[in-house]
Amino acid sequence: MKLPDTQPPPPAGLHTERGTRSAAPPAANAELLAVARRQLDQLDLVHQQTVTARVTEVLVTRKGLPEQLTLDIQGRSLRVQAALGDTALEAGDLVRLMRSHNELQLIGKLAATSHQQVAQALAQRLAWQHRPDTALAQLLAAVDQGVRTPTSAPGTPPQALPVEVRQAIQGLLALVPGSTELTSEAGNTGTRSGLIKQWLKGSGLFAESQLVRTPETATTDTKFAIGRIITALLASQQAPPTEFNRLTPLASHELVQAPLQFPNTLPAPAPMASHPPPTAGQLLKLMAGVLNRLTVNQLHSQILSTRGSSDGPAQATWLFDLPWLSPLGEPKLAQIRIEHQDHRGPQTSAARATVTEWYLNLALEPDHTGPLHFEVRLRQESVSARVWAERPATLRRIHDGLPALRQGLGALGLEVGEVDCKQGSPHNRRTQLEQRMVDTKA
């Protein structure tokens, strides 16, 4: 057990169930035995009780096998001496242990779970993400300006994009709504809600599941639209599809700095006019980075949706990066986090009723307002909302509009709770990446 502000205590012993060799403290050393017993007692482990633990660190190895480990057991850290025979362990592995007096016996190493596999796939892509709004800006610049060839001399005018590539880019643009379509002036509430629903469905987060259920609907999905741009670019270069797998994706610095913070405060992309004409190869790397971003959101959502524990059921979580166009045609980005959870209400004489909760977090930066963050909680028929704005002038405008917001929520038949606004930005929850595992208790 790691103790603050003291030297770490001597490690407890861990050996195989067959016990070919024991690294437990000698029986003659009463002090070390007492330390090991206290460590195991603090874990609430009794004699012959079994428990699952995670290897968080391999401290000492000899001949490729661990000699000393740090284990995470029931949320507590325990350093142990290891005598494991031929069992190879590394950080992230799950093991089954049993307490035997003042020792821990290794029952067996557990196979990698799907949760671990998802976490590893997520970690592999974190460093190669690119923002969809900046990518869209560069695609629009390529449509207007054309593309350069890698061997063209300085001053050579760019070449127009092939027709097939332009058509594929227009197909992606058709999935991106404009700000006027999302405002109250665009139409009635039903029309706007249908547009937002389609915006979410076509975000790329559900691409594979839609393809399995109804293959014909995949044509309206962002992920597949990007795939068509990639196919057209490769064909224009007379390159085989396998060439795409050899590319190193472009990355966005701000996403790499805080890879698992969502929503994230992101700076506005540079104006489209400031982007120099790219090459076809640069566009391919750009699309590879955007695909990685979509995949990261899919994997991150899956990690967060499988974090159920003894404290309560798992909650479904969806993370969306949704590009949209400002009135000037500049690409913007809305980041949305939706969480849904069903849990049992208080115990009564009748059956325990199921209580449904929804959480919505939205971050975006419209023109002339600065960054805005929205947090909405819906519990059964009760709703509460909070808005954060960084600019004082925007905060005053929001404060003046709160009565209308309360009235609009009440008109929907909801019981309106706390509705207020604050300056600054909320403290976002993060998923911490430790070794090869994602800490879903963050």
Q: Which of 180-194, 195-209, 249-263, 316-330 has the lowest mean pLDDT?
A: 180-194
- Beta-strand ranges (E) seen in 139-246 are none
- A 10 A CB-CB count for 37 gives 13
Concatenating the DSSP letter of every residue in 260-328 gives: TBSS---PPPPPGGGSPPPBHHHHHHHHHHHHHHHHHHHHHHHHHHT--BTTB---EEEEEEEEEE-TT
Number of domains in the chain: 2
pLDDT single digits (tens) 390-420: 999 999 999 999 999 999 999 989 999 999 9
Asked if 35 and 101 count as a contact pair (C-beta separation under 8 A), the reply is no
> What dihedral do alpha carbons 324, 326, 330, 333 form, nearest 10°?
-40
Q: Is residue 127 part of a domain?
A: yes
Domain C-terminal end among 111, 130, 158: 111
Same domain for 225 and 354, yes or no, is yes
**Between β-strands 382-389 and 372-379, what pairing exists: parallel, antiparallel or unpaired?**
antiparallel
Give the whole-angstrom CA distance, residue 266 versus residue 256.
Answer: 12
pLDDT at 18: 39
Q: Could you tell me what percentage of the chain is helix, strand and coil, using 3-state DSSP and rounding each to the nearest 5? A: 35, 30, 35
pLDDT at 367: 83
Same domain for 98 and 207, yes or no, is no
Q: Is residue 348 part of a domain?
A: yes
> Both tokens of residue 9?
């205590």
Higher pLDDT, 65 or 277: 277
Q: Is residue 399 part of a domain?
A: no
pLDDT at 25: 43
pTM here is 0.72
Q: Which of 35-39, 380-384, 385-389 has the lowest mean pLDDT?
A: 35-39
Same domain for 144 and 254, yes or no, is yes
Q: Is the dihedral of CA 202, 205, 208, 213 positive or negative?
A: negative
Give the whole-angstrom CA distance, residue 422 versus residue 387.
Answer: 6
Domain C-terminal end among 90, 111, 132: 111
pLDDT at 311: 43
Q: Which of 132-136, 208-212, 335-339, 400-404 has the lowest mean pLDDT?
A: 208-212
Higher pLDDT, 346 or 275: 275
Beta-bridge partner residues of 50: 98
* C-alpha 279: how far from chain center: 31
Q: Is residue 378 part of a domain?
A: no
Asked if 331 and 321 count as a contact pair (C-beta separation under 8 A), the reply is no
Same domain for 227 and 365, yes or no, is yes
Question: Please, what's the b/e burial string for 409-439 (b: 16 or more CB within 10 A of its CB; e: otherwise)?
Answer: beeeeeebeebebeeeeeeeeebebebbbbb
Higher pLDDT, 181 or 65: 181
Give the whole-angstrom CA distance, residue 202 versus residue 207.
Answer: 8
> CB within 8 A of 40, min separation 6: which ones?
12, 99, 102, 104
Tell me the average pLDDT of the chain: 80
Q: Is residue 299 part of a domain?
A: yes
Angle between helices 163-173 and 132-145 (to 10 degrees): 140
Domain C-terminal end among 78, 111, 144: 111
Q: Is residue 412 part of a domain?
A: no
Give the whole-angstrom CA distance, residue 301 versus residue 411.
Answer: 33
Same domain for 260 and 356, yes or no, is yes
Asked if 100 and 48 count as a contact pair (C-beta separation under 8 A), the reply is yes
Same domain for 205 and 67, yes or no, is no
> What dihedral do alpha carbons 295, 258, 320, 227 form, nearest 10°?
-30
Q: Which amino acid is at 441?
A: K
pLDDT at 168: 96
φ, ψ of residue 441 to 5 degrees: the values are -95, 0
Same domain for 200 and 101, yes or no, is no
Same domain for 220 and 296, yes or no, is yes
> Both tokens of residue 429?
């929850």
Angle between helices 114-125 and 280-305 (to 10 degrees): 150
State the residue range of the domain holding 241. 119-371+425-439
- Whether 9 has a pLDDT exceeding 50, the answer reads no
pLDDT single digits (tens) 58-87: 776 666 566 777 888 866 778 777 766 666
Give the whole-angstrom CA distance, residue 305 versus residue 376.
Answer: 19
pLDDT single digits (tens) 211-259: 888 776 667 899 999 999 999 999 999 999 889 988 899 999 888 888 8
Helix (H) or strand (E) holding 165: helix 163-173
Same domain for 253 and 171, yes or no, is yes
Same domain for 131 and 60, yes or no, is no
Asked if 394 and 371 count as a contact pair (C-beta separation under 8 A), the reply is no
> Residue 48 is part of a domain; what is its CATH number?
2.40.50.140
φ, ψ of residue 415 to 5 degrees: the values are -85, 115
- Whether 186 has a pLDDT exceeding 60, the answer reads no
Q: Which of 193-202, 284-293, 395-404, 421-430 has the lowest mean pLDDT?
A: 421-430
Cis previous bond, 8, omega within 30: no
Give the whole-angstrom CA distance, residue 80 versus residue 104.
Answer: 9
Higher pLDDT, 48 or 167: 167
pLDDT at 16: 47
> CB within 8 A of 277, min separation 6: which ones?
141, 142, 145, 146, 147, 148, 158
Asked if 308 and 264 count as a contact pair (C-beta separation under 8 A), the reply is no
Give the whole-angstrom CA distance, residue 342 versus residue 286.
Answer: 39
Give the whole-angstrom CA distance, residue 61 versus residue 152.
Answer: 55
Same domain for 88 and 154, yes or no, is no
pLDDT at 35: 66
Same domain for 48 and 132, yes or no, is no
